[in-house]
Amino acid sequence: MNNEGNFSMKKAFEADTGRVLNIVINSLYSEKEIFLRELISNSSDALDKRRFLSLTDKNDNVGTDDLKIEIQASKKDSTLIIKDNGVGMSKEELEKSLGTIAKSGTTEFLAELEKNSGKDKKKKDVNLIGQFGVGFYSAFMVADKVEVVSKGVGQTKANKWESDGISGYEISEANKEEVGTEITLHIKKSEKEYLDKERIGFITRKYSDHLMYSVNFIDGKNEPELLNKASAIWTREKKDISAEQYEEFYKQIGAGFNKPLLTLHNKVEGTLSYINLLFIPDSRPFDLFQMDVKSKIKLYSNRVLITDDSESILPRWLRFVKGIVDTSDVDLNVSREMLQHNVTLNKISKALKKRVINELKKMKDKDQEKYSSFWNEFGIVLKEGIYEDFDLKTELLELSKFQSMNGDKLVFLSDYIEKMNTEQKDIYYLAAENKEMAEGSPHLEVFKKKKLDVLFLTDPIDTFWLSMAGEFQDRKFVSITKGDIDLTAFSDDKKEKEKKPPAGMKGLVEKIKEILGENVQDVKVSTKLVDSACCLVAPDTGMDVQMERIMKIQNKDFKGMPRILEINPDHNIIKKLNKIKDTDKDALNDASFLLFDQAKMVEGELPNDIAKFNQRMSKFLGIALS
């Protein structure tokens, strides 16, 4: 029971919440002022939600002009109050929203924070706070006690949540007439500057000038004073908005922290009418590769927020794009479930995808350095689109960069094609786990010798789109680890052109095949190997080696198809084996397996039977050293 006689309950923070809180409070002293941005942006979100309700639900009809935020400061009591008449929270919501940081990614957040060190540490920490949506807790940077009194729309009772930010929190019944939320910060002695009207005005303008709602300052003595412009920035003309203003808005909506890499602000009128203000951030958010992360564009209908959780505006492969879309063509009353199937939205979505692609194209042509930095951050996500949005395959392939055998720099497909041998028709690629693995592949030997470049496709997503994309500008993608590739056309050497596989190898090939049995589909004499004794090739009809590996990772039972072992007839080992094939059965047997296991290992796989591999290896070493 608290002293008003109401039922109240005390609860400890969840373990992770406590840890996060501790970090928030103690390691962010360089930019404490952001607490105000976080609280104001929460109020703005709550006002957005109420505005939507009042326009769609007859039970709550608050006028748009009445929706507002107030800040009250009392130096006498050392309190700062942030008050809004947004949707408010019920008791359960208070507990759920403020009692836990029940967000996915909390663990990653902690790991990330603990990892960071050095000069940029603080900056990074502040950036992370916003990313993880622990915004509200930033209040504890400046307050030693926080009280949140809130009343939800349609509720008769209000509740109070209070906490010192250390041990836990307490919820009790409270008195509040109006729907909305009132947050009282008991400002720490050391942080009195945040009771100062000038300071508050400055911070509000800095971060929240373009909020749609007015923020008034009230000190009880003077008239309320409007602190911000209160006009939705996207509705204004481009020419009236400065780079700094875009940047502030970008930060305010949590799109990023430094400067946006690209800002797309367009007003479209005609059969479709909408405004988009989209940003591509300059660096990856922490959760870019989390499975459940979707694109999150805020969708407004005439400045009323409909949803900020819709995949219907941009696809997942553009999830790095942040911002807002405002259209009068979508009815407010459309249910959120139906947004996916909304014809107008689908059209807008299509247009936006094209727009983003076009802007990236422009950047690619105009500013290579900038494009490179974009590609390094988000290229791997953009490539998902080749697979997911097949219509856009060509445009996306044009924007894609790849590693290649002939250099350290990433290349566009157009670069590759431009430098192709005049006789070359196909795009050669090697899919591998990473560049180092690719470089060690025996499959490359003949390409090096013939001076043909090979693309290294090292992202897991590559194997997926490759299985569908097939070609680019009428050039087929050909895996060099698959089937027979005829390279005789590229030889200047007449003798080589006429060279036939040496006849004397037939017996050896057959014997090795018999020894390896079902481990291989076939054994062949290679026309491609130069330095290595052997390699494994996927059959023409089979899966690319790397694709098979990915399948194996995803499905433990996946066996894959046996591959073809190619042997190099010019290699010393093979020549020697050919000599002893009829006289030393044991040696041939062991050597065949050793060669096969070697070929597997160079593809990044383990020998079939590690114990046997070891035995054979020791045996051979013993002989070699004796």
**Site for ligand ADP, rule CB under 6 A:** 38, 42-43, 46, 84, 86-89, 97-98, 133-136, 181
Beta carbon of residue 141, minimum distance to ligand ADP (angstroms, whole number):
13
Q: Determine, following the binding rule CB under 5 A, whether residue 130 of this chain makes contact with Mg ion.
A: no
- Smallest separation, CB 287 to ligand ADP (Å): 13
User: Sheet containing 262-268: which strands, arranged edge to edge?
Assistant: 262-268, 274-280, 322-327, 297-301, 304-310
Q: What is the closest distance, in whole angstroms, from the C-beta atom of residue 116 to Mg ion in the complex? A: 22
Binding part of the chain for Mg ion, among 37-45, 56-64, 120-128, 536-544 by CB under 5 A, reads 37-45
Tokens for 584?
A: 């030393």
Q: Which is nearer to ligand ADP, 44 or 441 (CB)?
A: 44
- Are 57 and 64 in contact by the 8 Å Cβ rule? The answer is no
One of 42, 44, 106, 204 touching Mg ion (CB under 5 A): 42
Q: Classify residue 63 as exposed, middle or buried by CB count within 10 Å of its CB (0-12, 13-18, 19+).
A: exposed
C-alpha 377/C-alpha 194 separation (Å) is 37
Residue 136 C-beta: closest distance to Mg ion, Å? 6
Q: What is the DSSP string of 105-152?
A: THHHHHHHHHH--STTHHHHHHHHHHHTT-GGGGGGGTEEEEEEEEE-
Q: Which does 97 bind (CB under 5 to 8 A by kind): Mg ion, ligand ADP, none?
A: ligand ADP
Total site size for Mg ion, rule CB under 5 A: 2
Angle between helices 243-252 and 197-208 (to 10 degrees): 90
Q: Which is nearer to ligand ADP, 213 or 456 (CB)?
A: 213
From the list 86, 135, 260, 607, which residue makes contact with Mg ion (rule: CB under 5 A)?
135
Gap between the Cα atoms of 522 and 513, Å rounded = 7
The entry of ligand ADP, Mg ion, none near residue 46 (CB within 5 to 8 angstroms by kind) is ligand ADP
* Beta bridge partner(s), residue 301: 304
Least distance in angstroms from the C-beta of 148 to ligand ADP: 7
Q: Shortest distance, CB of residue 38 to Mg ion, whole angstroms?
A: 5
607 binds, among Mg ion, ligand ADP, none (CB under 5 to 8 A by kind): none
8 Å CB contact between 307 and 299: yes
CB nearer to Mg ion: pick between 42 and 463: 42
Q: Which does 424 bind (CB under 5 to 8 A by kind): ligand ADP, Mg ion, none?
A: none
Residue partners of 3: CB distance under 8 A and separation at least 6: none
Q: Which is nearer to ligand ADP, 43 or 163 (CB)?
A: 43
Of 87 and 574, nearer to ligand ADP (C-beta) is 87
In the complex with ligand ADP, the residue whose CB is nearer, 67 or 515, is 67
| Helix 106-115, helix 15-27: angle, nearest 10 | 40
Q: Considering beta carbons, is residue 174 or 469 the nearer one to ligand ADP?
A: 174
Which residue number, 24 or 515, has a Cβ lying nearer to ligand ADP?
24
Dump the DSSP string for 314-373: S-GGGTT-EEEEEESSS-TTS-GGGGGG-HHHHHHHHHHHHHHHHHHHHHHHH-HHHHHH
Nearest CA to 66 out of 49, 45, 51, 46 is that of 51
**Binder of residue 43, out of ligand ADP, Mg ion, none (CB less than 5 to 8 A by kind):** ligand ADP
- Min dist CB 13 to Mg ion, Å, is 18
Look at the alpha carbons of 309, 311, 316, 317 in this order and tell me if their dihedral is positive or negative: negative
Q: Which does 526 bind (CB under 5 to 8 A by kind): Mg ion, ligand ADP, none?
A: none
Contact region with Mg ion (CB under 5 A), list: 134-142, 229-237, 404-412, 547-555: 134-142
281 contact, one of ligand ADP, Mg ion, none, CB 5-8 Å limit per kind: none
How far is the C-alpha of 572 from the C-alpha of 347, rounded, in Å?
A: 64
| Closest approach of ligand ADP to the CB of residue 39, in Å | 7
> DSSP 3-state assignment of 433?
coil
Torsion of CA 367, 368, 373, 378, to 10 degrees: 100
Nearer to ligand ADP, 257 or 593 (CB): 257
Whole-number Å distance between alpha carbons of 101 and 96: 8
Q: How far is the CB of 20 from ligand ADP (least distance, A)?
A: 10
Query: CB under 5 A: which stretch of 131-139, 267-275, 301-309, 478-486 binds Mg ion?
Result: 131-139
Looking at residue 334, its amino acid is V
Which of ligand ADP, Mg ion, none interacts with 134 (beta carbon under 5 to 8 A by kind)?
Answer: ligand ADP
Q: How far is the CB of 158 from ligand ADP (least distance, A)?
A: 12
Calculate the alpha carbon distances from 190 to 78, 143, 195 in Å: 11, 10, 11
Q: How far is the CB of 58 from Mg ion (least distance, A)?
A: 29
Token digits for 276? 């988009």
Q: Select 213 or 472, whichever has its Cβ closest to Mg ion.
A: 213
Write out the residues near Mg ion by the rule CB under 5 A. Answer: 42, 135
